[in-house]
Structure 1
C-alpha cells in the first residue's frame, strides 16, 4: 500500500528513491573521503536511516539524515488516499454523462424491442380477421354451398375484407417509411388552406353516407407553411376520416385553420363519442382502439392516428387533444413558423 501511495504522489517507488539517495550520498561521501558513517550504517543494516554527507553549493559539508519512516509515510499515504478520492470523484463526474447516455440508449432499445414485438403481434391479429373471413366465404362458394342469391353478398364481403388488407398494408408501409426516413423528407412551401379544402371536398360523400356534416373554416387569406405536401395531405385525411368514423348520426366535423403566435394551428373537432380520460394518453398508439366492437363496424386499420403523430413530429409540430366522453373530440396540430 505504501509503495503504491508513494508512486501515485511522486511517480517513483519508495525503493527507487531510497536507492537513488544512497547512491548519491555514497558518491559524495567517497569524493570527500568521509565514508565511515555511511559504511557503518550499511554494514549494520540501519536503513531506512542512512547517514551521509552532501556537498553544499559552496563546498561546505553538512550531515543529513534520510529517514523513510512511518512519520513520513503516513502523511504520504493520507495524501495519496486524498488524491485517489479526488481522482475517483472527478472520474465518476466525467463518466456520469456517458453512463447515463448508455443507460438511456439501452432503455430505448428495450422499449423499441418491446414495441416491435407488440407491433408484430398486432399485425398478425389484424391480418388474421380479414383473411379468415375471405377464406371462409371463398370456401363456401368453391364447394357449392352458397345459394345463388348468396354469391353477390359473399363477393361483397370478400372484396371489403380484401380492401381492408390493402389499407392495412398501405398504412404499415407508410408508418415504416415515416420512422426510417425522417431525415430524407423534402420540405417546400405548402398552401395548407388549399390542402384542407381538397381534403374536405374528397370526404364529403363519406361524411354524407354516415349523416355527418363536414365543413371547413379558414381565413380569407390562404395560409402557407413549410412542409411535405403528401404527408400533410395524409395527416389531414386521417384526422378527418377518424372524426367521421367515430361520430354520431347527425353529427358534425369542423376543420379550422388559423394563424397563431409562433405558427399555424390546424384543428379538427367532432361531435362524436369522445374518448374516456383513461385512454387519452394511448390514443395515438399503433392499433389502439377505445371501442373494439365499434371499430369492426366503422372499419379502419387502427394506424391512422399513429401516422398523424409521426407526420406531426416530422414537421416539428405539437399535438393537443381535448375530449369529453359522449360529446366529442378536438385534435389541434400546432405547426411552427
Structure 2
C-alpha cells in the first residue's frame, strides 16, 4: 500500500510538471493566446486536483479497510484460541485427574461457558456475513422481549466478584412484547451487554433497563467503563471499527458487535444512541417505536 501511494504521488508531480512545461511552450509559441491557455490550464488544474483528491481519499479508505481487516483476523484468531485453550485444559484435567463430582461438574460448567463464547462469536460472524450479502430476510414474529433480555442477563451474569452478588444490575419490566426477528435481536442484546462488561473494569456493575413508555419500548445498557469520545460516537457502528488505537487497546473484540447492532436495529425501524454516563462510562439507549 505504501508503494501505491509513492507511485500515485510521483504520477501527480510528473503530470503537473508536464502541464506547466507544455503551458510554458504554448505561451512562448503563441503569445497572443496567453489568456486562453491560462484559462484552459486553470480549469484543467482544478479538475485534475479534484480527481486526484478523490482518488487519494479512495486509496486512503481502502488502506484503512485493509488494516481493519488485518486487525479483525488477528482479533478473531486470538478470540477463538483463548476459549479453545481453556476448554482443552479443563477437559485434560478431567481426563487425567481423579476429581470429585463437584469439581468435575464445575469444570464442565466452565467448559460450557467457553463454548457459549465461541458460539456467540460464530453467530456474530455468520450474521454479519449474511447482512453484507443481503441474504438474511429478518423474519418477524411477536415475542416477549422481557423474557429474552432476562435470559441473556442470566446467562452473562458473573457472580464471582468479591463484595458483590452480581455484576449485571437488571431492571426488566415484565410482559414487554415487540414484533421482530428474535434471533437477530438476541444478538443485539448480547452484544450490547457483553460490550458493557468488556469495556468496564473488573467487577464494575453494568446496568440493564427494559421498560415501555408512551407507546415505545426502551432498552438501556449502562456501564462505568472507559467511555467513548464524542468524535468516535458516530464511528463505533462501522464494520471492524473499535474504540481507541491498535497500539494502546487492551480489550478483546472483533469490531463486528456494534455493526451488527446498528444493522439489525435499522431493519426493525429502531434507533440507538450513545450517551455519556456519570461519573464515567457510556449508556446505549435503544428505542423501538
Which range, TM-score by smaller chain? 0.5 to 0.7
The Cα of 1:118 is off from its aligned counterpart by 0.5
After superposition, the CA RMSD in angstroms is: 4.8
* Count of matched residue pairs: 247
Write out aligned runs for 1:165-314 (5 A). Answer: 165-178=118-131, 180-181=132-133, 186=137, 196-203=145-152, 205-206=154-155, 210=166, 212-216=169-173, 230-232=183-185, 234-239=187-192, 252-256=207-211, 266-270=218-222, 272-276=223-227, 281=232, 303-312=256-265
Q: Summarize deviations over 1:268-319 as a string: whole Å, max 9, x none.
A: 144x4244355993865859589x99x89xxx98753342134346678764
Conserved in 2, the CA contact under 8 Å of 1:244 and 1:253? no
Measure the CA separation in 1 of the matches of 2:193 and 2:175: 15
Gaps of 5+ in 1: 9-72
Higher RCO structure, 1 or 2 (CA under 8 Å, sep 6+): 2
Partner of 2:285: 332
Counterpart contact for 2:145–2:178, Cα < 8 Å:
no
Contact 2:170–2:208, Cα closer than 8 Å, also in 1: yes
- Once residues 162 and 240 of structure 1 are traced to their aligned partners in structure 2, the CA distance between those partners, rounded to angstroms, is 18
Query: Which of residues 147, 150, 153 in structure 1 aligns to 2:98?
Result: 147
Deviation at 1:123, TM superposition (A): 1.0
Match of 1:64 in 2: none
Cα 1:105–1:324 change in 2 (3 A) is: same
Distance 1:185 1:257, change over 3 A: farther
* CA gap 1:101/1:273 in 2 versus in 1, 3 angstroms: same
TM-score, normalisation: structure 2: 0.60
For the pair shown, the structure with the greater C-alpha radius of gyration is 1
Instruction: Check the 8 A contact 2:130/2:136 in 1, yes or no.
Output: no
